[in-house]
């Protein structure tokens, strides 16, 4: 029973095609196909079956792939253990984030890491892409979800919560609500809103506000970029829902944030990882740094 082959099966389960596995493991598709064939012969039962021009796993194949994960995890634990004996954490760790989390956490994290540990970061648009799928490409995936809806459960991924960030109501200076300590849904119905692109998670909270207040909100614009939204708010063109810790970065003091009461208004920021990658010492080190950085941000920044 060969571990390499099991690993290949697991990659196939994650990536869905022989070609993708080959690319990810720096091999030719032919090599992958041959190894899977050998594995199947050893197993004595079909692990894959053709579907169209692609290949999908059978039930047996999926089950084997799942236990292949356990093997990978224990192997990763072993290498992590000996990393602890030898040097400190070293090597490369790759990470994707959605823009605001990266802006908030990554600079602090990278400066806190030793010189032997290089962190390769990238950003992706949060809603355009399937974030869990990135765990195949990146060691760490920073994702956000609305409270409660932990959509990444059950996929066999390791989920580490980093922070819950409140979503406040952003107002221009001098707005009638700007001297309140907090606002309620009913305060907001007359306002002009700068909304987010359809499908963005904030959307749900806006709906909740409408439901709570019993009236529809008037949505004048719809943007994806937060800085753009903020500039509109500052310009007095409307108000918007903005994450507390990542707002007003460009123009401090010109945007007023008010906590929203009456509806649950926050997002969970989490790190997603393949279970085996999560065991690597270097990865664990980055995760710890992310956690402490998140805690620092949460303590230092208070609502205005």
Adjacent-strand bridge partners of 49: 56
Which of the ranges 81-89, 167-175, 182-190, 193-201 carries the binding residues for a second copy, by CB under 8 A? 81-89
Adjacent-strand bridge partners of 223: 196
> Which partner, a second copy, DNA, none, binds residue 149 by CB below 5 to 8 Å per kind?
none
Q: Which is nearer to a second copy, 44 or 148 (CB)?
A: 44
Binding mask 48-77 for a second copy (x = CB under 8 A): ------------x--xx--xx-xx-xxx-x
Q: List the structure tokens of 191.
A: 């306002």
- Residue from 2, 84, 125, 225 binding DNA (CB under 7 A): 2
Residues in 47-66 at the binding interface with DNA, rule: CB under 7 A: 48, 50, 52-55
Residue 30 sits in the site that holds DNA (CB under 7 A): yes
Adjacent-strand bridge partners of 145: 268
Residue 29 sits in the site that holds DNA (CB under 7 A): yes
- Residue from 9, 36, 47, 287 binding DNA (CB under 7 A): 36
End-to-end CA separation in angstroms for the chain:
60
Binding mask 209-248 for DNA (x = CB under 7 A): ----------------------------------------
Least Å distance between CB 29 and DNA? Answer: 4
- Residue from 28, 30, 79, 218 binding a second copy (CB under 8 A): 79
Q: List the structure tokens of 156.
A: 């066999």
Alpha-carbon gap, residue 117 to 114, rounded angstroms: 6
Q: List the structure tokens of 294.
A: 């998140």
Q: Which is nearer to a second copy, 9 or 217 (CB)?
A: 9
> Which partner, DNA, a second copy, none, binds residue 218 by CB below 5 to 8 Å per kind?
none
Give how many residues touch DNA by CB under 7 A. Answer: 24
Adjacent-strand bridge partners of 224: none
> Which partner, DNA, a second copy, none, binds residue 79 by CB below 5 to 8 Å per kind?
a second copy
Residue 31 sits in the site that holds DNA (CB under 7 A): yes
> Which partner, DNA, a second copy, none, binds residue 45 by CB below 5 to 8 Å per kind?
a second copy
Which pairs count as long-range contacts for 180-183, CB under 8 Å and 24+ apart, including other chains?
A: 180/258, 181/258, 181/259, 182/258, 182/259, 182/260, 182/261, 183/258, 183/259, 183/260, 183/261
Least Å distance between CB 64 and DNA? Answer: 16
Contacts of 107 (CB under 8 A, 6+ apart): none
Q: List the structure tokens of 11.
A: 């990659």
Whether the Cβ atoms of residue 170 and residue 227 lie closer than 8 Å to each other: no
Residue 125 sits in the site that holds a second copy (CB under 8 A): no
The DSSP string of 33-92 is: HHHHHHHHHHHTS--EEEETTEEEE-HHHHHHHHHHHHHHHHHHHHHHHHHHHSSSS-EE
Alpha-carbon gap, residue 245 to 147, rounded angstroms: 17
CA angle at 139 for the pair 27 and 267, rounded to the nearest 5°: 140
Q: Which is nearer to a second copy, 71 or 121 (CB)?
A: 71
- Residue from 6, 13, 18, 162 binding DNA (CB under 7 A): 18
Q: Which is nearer to a second copy, 35 or 268 (CB)?
A: 35
Residue 120 sits in the site that holds DNA (CB under 7 A): no
Residue 38 sits in the site that holds a second copy (CB under 8 A): no
Write out the residues near DNA by the rule CB under 7 A: 2, 4, 17-20, 26-31, 33-38, 48, 50, 52-55
């Amino acid at each position: 029973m060969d571990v390499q082959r099991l690993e290949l099966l697991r990659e196939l389960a994650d990536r869905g095609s022989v070609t993708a596995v080959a690319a990810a493991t720096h091999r030719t598709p032919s090599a992958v196909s041959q190894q899977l064939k050998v594995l199947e012969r050893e197993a004595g039962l079909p692990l894959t079956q053709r579907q169209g021009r692609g290949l999908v796993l059978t039930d047996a194949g999926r089950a084997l792939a799942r236990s292949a994960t356990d093997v990978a995890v224990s192997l990763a634990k072993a290498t992590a253990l000996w990393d602890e004996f030898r040097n400190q954490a070293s090597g490369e760790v790759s990470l994707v984030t959605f823009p605001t989390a990266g802006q908030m956490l990554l600079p602090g994290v990278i400066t806190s890491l030793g010189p032997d540990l290089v962190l390769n970061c990238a950003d992706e648009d949060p809603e355009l892409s399937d974030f869990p799928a990135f765990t195949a490409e990146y060691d760490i995936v920073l994702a956000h979800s609305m409270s409660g809806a932990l959509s990444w459960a059950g996929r066999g991924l390791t989920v580490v919560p980093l922070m819950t960030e409140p979503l406040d109501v952003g107002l221009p200076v001098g707005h009638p609500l700007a001297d309140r300590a907090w606002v309620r849904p009913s305060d907001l119905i007359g306002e002009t809103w700068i909304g987010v692109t359809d499908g963005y998670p904030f959307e749900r909270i806006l709906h909740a506000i409408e439901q709570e207040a019993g009236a529809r909100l008037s949505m004048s614009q719809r943007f994806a970029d937060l800085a753009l939204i903020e500039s509109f708010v500052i310009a007095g063109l409307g108000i918007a829902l903005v994450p507390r810790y990542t707002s007003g970065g460009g123009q401090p003091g010109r945007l007023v944030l008010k906590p929203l009461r009456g509806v649950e208004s926050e997002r969970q920021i989490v790190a997603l990882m393949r279970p085996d990658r999560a065991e690597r010492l270097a990865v664990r080190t980055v995760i710890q740094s992310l956690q402490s950085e998140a805690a620092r941000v949460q303590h230092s920044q208070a609502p205005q």
